[in-house]
Each structure stands twice: as C-alpha cells, then as structure tokens.
C-alpha cells in the first residue's frame, strides 16, 4: 500500500482509499497525496474538495482509480 501512496505523490495522480476515522466511521475517498511521513498522509480529498490529513494506521485499503468511460453515469 505504501508504494501506491508514493506513486500517487510522485506522479501527482489520484488513488481511491477506504479509511476508518477515530469514531469508527468508514469512508471511501479519492485522494491525491501531497506529502507523507511514517504516520500521516497529507492529501487533497476530492470528496471534500479540500486538503486533509489521514493517519496511515487508519487506512484500510488503497487502489488505482479506474478511468470512467465516456457517457457513463
């Protein structure tokens, strides 16, 4: 998963994550990693249209964003 986060940062490309917050709520988001260290990820979140900070330990999964087909809803 770390390699995918690094690729997002280096190539300036979005990835899809599943994240659990401190209250136990799970969310699915598309983010673009801006900066990260051993414990946090600073990223642009397309769901909130803002920069957000995520704890790496709360990241459940990460995947490449699949391109949408033209005309798809």
The answer to pTM > 0.95 is: no
pLDDT of amino acid 70: 67
pLDDT of 50: 97
Range 2-64: architecture per CATH: Roll (2.30)
Position 66 scores a pLDDT of 79
Q: What is the spatial distance between Cα 47 and Cα 43, in angstroms, rounded to a whole number?
A: 12
Among 49, 55, 59, 72, smallest CA distance to 1 is for 59
Decide: 26 and 17 in contact? Cβ < 8 Å: no
Chunked mean pLDDT (size 10), the chain, 73 residues: 91 96 96 96 96 97 82 58
Evaluate whether 62 touches 49 at the Cβ level (below 8 Å).
Answer: no
Report domain extents, the chain.
Answer: 2-64
């Amino acid at each position: 998963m770390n390699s995918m986060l690094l690729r997002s940062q280096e190539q300036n490309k979005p990835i899809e994550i599943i994240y659990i917050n401190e209250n136990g709520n799970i969310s699915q988001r598309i983010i673009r990693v801006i900066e990260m260290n051993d414990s946090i990820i600073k990223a642009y979140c397309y769901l909130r249209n803002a920069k957000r900070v995520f704890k790496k330990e709360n990241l459940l999964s990460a995947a490449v964003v699949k391109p949408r087909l033209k005309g798809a809803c």
